[in-house]
Amino acid sequence: MFVGKFTVTLAAGSLFRGSLEAPEGTHVVEPGWIGAAGLSWRVLEDEGALPYVVLSASIGAASAATKLRDERGDYVGLDFRFSATAGKTFFGWLSPYVSLRGFGGPIFWFVDDEASDDRKIRFGTDKYHFQGAVGAAFILPENLDLFVEGQPGAEQGALGGLGWRY
């Protein structure tokens, strides 16, 4: 059944591992933060054996320190995401789901210059422009949802947040 319900989402989480490849070597990405805001549209309600389907768009940012030997850096990434999510609601409050996302945006990487005391900036983009995720939403009173998810492949991380349905 066509639903057409919208949800505004705010999210915060952690970037907990990664690496950046550069000519001088592989820089380790240390733990950092992730934040996002988005809008979701439920296009199909879960009825009988059918799952619900949600389409989403969001803007997000991530930041973390990087390290290669004694060279330190600061990584900042911005992205725009488009997602398709399918899930099923149980007991009226538990809603596990899977998502597939496509995204892109600029990356700014500020790295110490070994030849001087200055910092240099490198621009780039993500190696992968897709992400799979598994998670669960907990349906709360007052049109609120609490969600947690993990992204095990390509871009890896964990995310949690609060959504408001209207």
Instruction: Name the DSSP letter for residue 90.
Output: B
**Cα–Cα distance measured from residue 148 to residue 146, given in angstroms and rounded to the nearest whole number:** 7
pTM of the model: 0.73
Say if CB 53 and CB 44 are below 8 A apart: yes
- Three-state SS for 46? coil
Burial class (CB in 10 A: 0-12, 13-18, 19+), 98: middle
Residues in the chain: 166
**Cα–Cα distance measured from residue 56 to residue 110, given in angstroms and rounded to the nearest whole number:** 31
Low-confidence ranges of the chain (pLDDT < 50): 1-2
- pLDDT of 25-54, one tens digit each? 899 999 999 899 999 999 999 888 899 999
Q: How many CB atoms lie within 10 A of CB 27?
A: 22
Nearest partner of 118 among 51, 69, 71, judged by Cα = 71
| Tokens 């240099």 belong to residue | 120
Instruction: Name the DSSP letter for residue 128.
Output: -
